[in-house]
Structure formats: C-alpha cells, structure tokens
Structure 1
Amino acid sequence: MLGGISIWQLVIIAAIVVLLFGTKKLRNVGGDLGSAIKGFKKAMNNDETAKPEAKAAQAAQLEGKDADFADVKSTYGKEQA
C-alpha cells in the first residue's frame, strides 16, 4: 500500500484535484507533459544520429592539429640544428 495511503484516499485526492483545477486544465497539463516527453525523445534520437558525424568532425579537427604540430616541430628542428 503506498506508505499507508489506501486506494480510497488516492481517489479522494484525485477528486479534489479535479475539482480545484478542472478537467480542461488537467488535459492541457497532460498534453504539455506529453509534448515535452516527445520533444525530449526526439532530441535524444537526433543526438544518437549526430554522434557518428560529430566523431568524424572531431577526428578531422584532431588530424589538422596534428599536422600543425608536425609543422611546428619540423620548424623548430631546423632552427636548432
């Protein structure tokens, strides 16, 4: 039993909530919550599909940095010799 709360107490609480807020407002809150969850799932799916592209871009950046480092290293190597 949910921490000492019976089913009848939950029904009474639900009835009070419906009386206070009304069914239209509760429907709007439910719709907003559903669209928020849908948007969150869509963002998570977009993130998963973007991961391979992001990894490729990151690898390209690292290769560019490695090439710059090699140029600097060869320049310093020539000056010290």
Structure 2
Amino acid sequence: MGSFSIWHWLIVLLIVVMVFGTKKLKNMGSDLGGAVKGFKDGMKDGSSPDTNVATPPAGQVANQAAADKTTIDVEAKQKS
C-alpha cells in the first residue's frame, strides 16, 4: 500500500491521454510554459531599477511647477 510502481504511473498516464487526447495535453503544456515564462519575466522586470527616465507623452506636463504656470481656471469668477 506504499508508493506507486512504474506500471501504475504508466496506466494513469495512458488513461489521461485517452481522456484528454494528445493535442489538448500539448496545448495545456504550451500554455503552462508560456504562463511560467511570463511570470519569470514579470518578476525580473519588477525587481530591476529603472535607469532610464520615461518622457511624458506630447501635450502632458512633466512636473507640478510647470503645470501650475500653464494651468487655466476655466470657471474663474471676476472678483469685485
């Protein structure tokens, strides 16, 4: 009643192949491999420091001081 022998594992493998089919097992394996690769890439990117500073897209202000100079209050009311 201990561990399974090689024959038990071969029978289980045969049943799994018969139930799912080789094509579906191949697709599941490639999906799992892609997920693991994506996870590793994400962990690598998250732990590395950003050495290059990203420039803001055109039309957006990079810092608050520049934003204060160019901000226009469209609902400003005239003081009396």
For the criterion TM > 0.5, the same-fold answer is yes
Distance in 1 of aligned mates of 2:21 and 2:11: 15
| 2:20 aligned partner | 21
Question: How many aligned positions are there?
Answer: 51
TM-score (norm 2): 0.58
| 1:37 aligned partner | 36
| Structure 1: gaps spanning 5 or more residues | 54-81
| 1:4 aligned partner | 3
In terms of fraction of residues, the more helix-rich structure is 1
TM-score (norm 1): 0.57
Q: Name the Cα RMSD after superposition.
A: 1.9
Distance change >3 Å, CA 50–CA 10, structure 1 → 2: same
| Structure 2: gaps spanning 5 or more residues | 53-80
Distance in 1 of aligned mates of 2:44 and 2:22: 33
Query: Does 1 or 2 have the higher relative contact order (CA < 8 Å, sep 6+)?
Result: 1
1:4, distance to aligned residue in structure 2 (A):
1.6
| 1:49 aligned partner | 48
Q: Percent identity?
A: 49
1:46, distance to aligned residue in structure 2 (A):
0.3
Structure 1 residue ranges, 4+ long, deviating more than 2 angstroms after superposition: 50-53
